[in-house]
Amino acid sequence: MATFGRTWWGERFLTALERFTNAARLGRGRAYASNGRIVEHKLEKGTVVAKVRGSVNPYFGVYEEPLYRTTIKITQISAADWSKVIERIAARADLITKLLQQEMPDRIEDAFAEAGVQLLPQGRGDFKTDCSCPDWENPCKHIAGVYYILARDLDRDPFVLFEMRGLSREALHAELVKSPLGEILAASLHTEDVPLAPAESFHTRPTKVVPNGETANGKKKAKAGAAVSHRTFWAGPRRLQPARPAPSQARVSALLVKKQGDYPPFWHKDSSFIEVMEELYDRVRTKSPQMK
């Protein structure tokens, strides 16, 4: 069975439906959406128009499988409120960057809340629905089925909700890039295609240069530099400076020994441990000059 409400905005959309729709009708609507009974649906000017295959029901006088026309419209946000929302979105880099990359920001609802509006529907008052079926209950199972199709569409493309609220993807993008921050971000996200130039050969053809500045075929060519010897070509015109010797490592004379003190715990003699070790070091240096 298909999964609906996989994203947080899709889940919130379905949560709003559960507040005012009978659970049994939602279950049948979910089955309609999963079994392919939603023949087609289209979003036009903020309204979803769908065709739903119904069931044969002699009780309602339906003896052949009918095809019902179902419409769902979410209350749209006014142009003035959209201007307030876009102004707040354009002031936040985290929101505008995600939207320009065709993604839904996690904190998008903050901008709507600051403008005093809601992006996601909250209850029955946000929906206007109708179905040509004989069922008097609204929403019926056909409308509920289209609800789940919308939730699936929202999971795939969150900008469907913006369009149902009265602002298309293209209009939103156009408004965002008008802001200073949006203009900068849009320019950084846009990549220019470099035109391809045909080449006669995959290899560079060598050109013989004659002293008078002409190529072998007689065409003028930029004046070539003075001829150089093989030694200069490979070694360069200047000799490299000799490598500097690596600095010698700093010596720390008997640091670990001195840290033990005159009478460490493992030393059981009356004489000083440090004095004994210093005498030992002197003997070793005398025997081996390389250790100096």
Measured distance CA(146)–CA(201) in Å, rounded: 59
Could you report the per-residue pLDDT of 266-285, keeping only the tens digit for each? Answer: 777 777 777 878 787 777 77
Residue 84 has pLDDT above 60, yes or no: yes
Residue 246 forms part of a structural domain: no
Domain that holds residue 92: 78-116+166-190
Whether residue 57 sits in one domain with residue 14:
yes
**Are residues 152 and 69 part of one domain?**
yes
Percentage of residues in the chain having pLDDT higher than 90: 10
Are 174 and 35 contained in the same domain? Answer: no
pLDDT recorded at residue 99: 85
- If asked whether residues 109 and 182 sit together in one domain, one would say yes
- Return the percentage of the chain with pLDDT > 70, whole number: 77
* Residue 151 near residue 144, CB atoms below 8 Å: no
- As a whole number, mean pLDDT of residues 211-230 equals 55
187's tokens: 């320019």
Q: Is 82 domain-assigned?
A: yes
Which residue among 130, 156, 182 closes a domain? 156
The answer to whether residue 57 sits within a structural domain is: yes
The burial class, CB within 10 Å (0-12 / 13-18 / 19+), for 50 is buried
Q: Give the model's confidence band at 191: pLDDT under 50 very low, under 70 low, under 90 confident, else very high.
A: low
d(CA 33, CA 24): 14
Counting beta carbons within 10 angstroms of the beta carbon of residue 74, is it exposed (0 to 12), middle (13 to 18) or buried (19 or more)?
buried
pLDDT of residue 274: 77
pLDDT of residue 211: 54
Report cis status (omega within 30 of 0) of the bond before 245. no
Residue 102 lies in a domain: yes
Residues 140 and 45 grouped into a single domain: yes
